[in-house]
Structure 1
Amino acid sequence: MKSKYVRAFMTCAETFADLSHAERLKVGCVIVKDNRIISIGYNGMPAGWENKCETLEFFNEQGLQQVQPFLKTKPEVLHAESNAIAKLARSSESGEGAVLFTTHAPCIDCAKLIYQSGISEVYYKNPYRDDKGVKFLLKSEISVKNSG
């Protein structure tokens, strides 16, 4: 794919990230086939749910009180990639041979969905907190490129 299209579609993913109601981290995703967008997604609550993605926590996972409260993402939040793939599944389009653009590298669960949907190439701009998703995609022979 030409670099001007990579930049354009990544800009689209960033624009959709801005639509997220998440406060801690906004992630956007665009799925493209034959240079046209076939699905979009951003991280957020399931359709029809209150758009509050985080809770304010005062204790860490070990039960220790924190000096500063922090935002913790609710387990119900859908990732941008899974949201885009779910929308794609409800459409007449196929993910086979498509290209996915996401503002952040996919987690392992989203990477498995990417593989199962037939997407053949992934571009991301920012790293995820671990690289398990990227490693899975590479092991699955899906092209992964950091466009950042």
Structure 2
Amino acid sequence: MSEVLCKKRDDYLEWPEYFMAVAFLSAQRSKDPNSQVGACIVNAENKIVGIGYNGMPNGCSDDLLPWRRTAENILDTKYPYVCHAELNAIMNKNSADVKGCSMYVALFPCNECAKLIIQAGIKEVIFMSDKYHNSTETTAARLLFEMAGVSFRCNDSGINN
């Protein structure tokens, strides 16, 4: 055989890019008109064990609940109702547990998702965007992650925290 036919492709996706792409693909299932976030949980063997995206809870009509971000009454916004991608990925897991796994997520988690991630035993969070870096929710999330020993890093910069 010629050498050209025997050489493997070298422009394939590395594992981190692949898992982040899966998170972004799952985000496309979200019906939220403003924020589409996806999450992908991966075990030590590079196997996907959970996928989720932000959306309304199972059994609750996303046609009847509000999707707006602001209103006089918070009950007329999406915030009391929407399940975040991280929660859905943990709940949709296809293994006994996610202890020791990594989570790839489009957006740095809020404090509520950080608590779920910690309680689930996930040990690493890889995110693409930290656009709410200075918010109280993400500040609290970073503090919780640091205290619990959950590492977190931005996928595109390679910065470890």
TM-score, shorter chain, exceeding 0.5: yes
User: SS at the partner of 2:68?
Assistant: strand
Q: Which runs of structure 2 are paired with 1:44-63 in the superposition (5 Å)? A: 44-52=55-63, 54-55=67-68, 57=70, 59=72
Instruction: Kindly state the Cα deviation for residue 93 of structure 1 after the two structures are TM-superposed.
Output: 2.6
Closer, same or farther in 2 for the Cα pair 1:56/1:41, shift >3 Å?
A: closer
User: SS at the partner of 1:45?
Assistant: coil
Q: Which runs of structure 2 are paired with 1:45-84 in the superposition (5 Å)? A: 45-52=56-63, 54-55=67-68, 57=70, 59=72, 72-84=77-89
1:67-124 CA-partner distances (Å, limit 9, x unpaired): xxxx942411100001111122xx4431111000100000001001100111111101
Instruction: Kindly state the Cα deviation for residue 51 of structure 1 after the two structures are TM-superposed.
Output: 2.1
* Identity across matched positions, percent: 32
Greater relative contact order (Cα < 8 A, sep 6+): 1
TM-score normalized by structure 1?
Answer: 0.81
Is contact 1:111-1:133 (8 Å) kept? yes
Is contact 1:107-1:128 (8 Å) kept? no
Distance 2:122 2:148 in 1: 11
Amino acid at match of 2:52: G
Distance 2:69 2:115 in 1: 30
The structure with the greater share of residues assigned to strand is 1
Question: Counterpart in 1 of 2:10?
Answer: none
Amino acid at match of 1:54: W
Instruction: Kindly state the Cα deviation for residue 59 of structure 1 after the two structures are TM-superposed.
Output: 4.6
Closer, same or farther in 2 for the Cα pair 1:55/1:139, shift >3 Å?
A: same
**Structure 1 segments (4+ residues) deviating >6 Å:** none
Cα RMSD (Å) of the superposition?
Answer: 2.2
Gapped runs of 5+ residues in structure 2? 1-12, 157-161
- Larger of the two Rg values belongs to structure: 2
Gapped runs of 5+ residues in structure 1? 62-70
Question: Counterpart in 1 of 2:6?
Answer: none
The alignment of Structure 1 onto Structure 2 pairs a total of residues equal to: 135
Question: Counterpart in 1 of 2:33?
Answer: 23
User: SS at the partner of 1:84?
Assistant: helix
User: SS at the partner of 1:30?
Assistant: strand
TM-score normalized by structure 2?
Answer: 0.75
Distance 1:116 1:56 in 2: 28
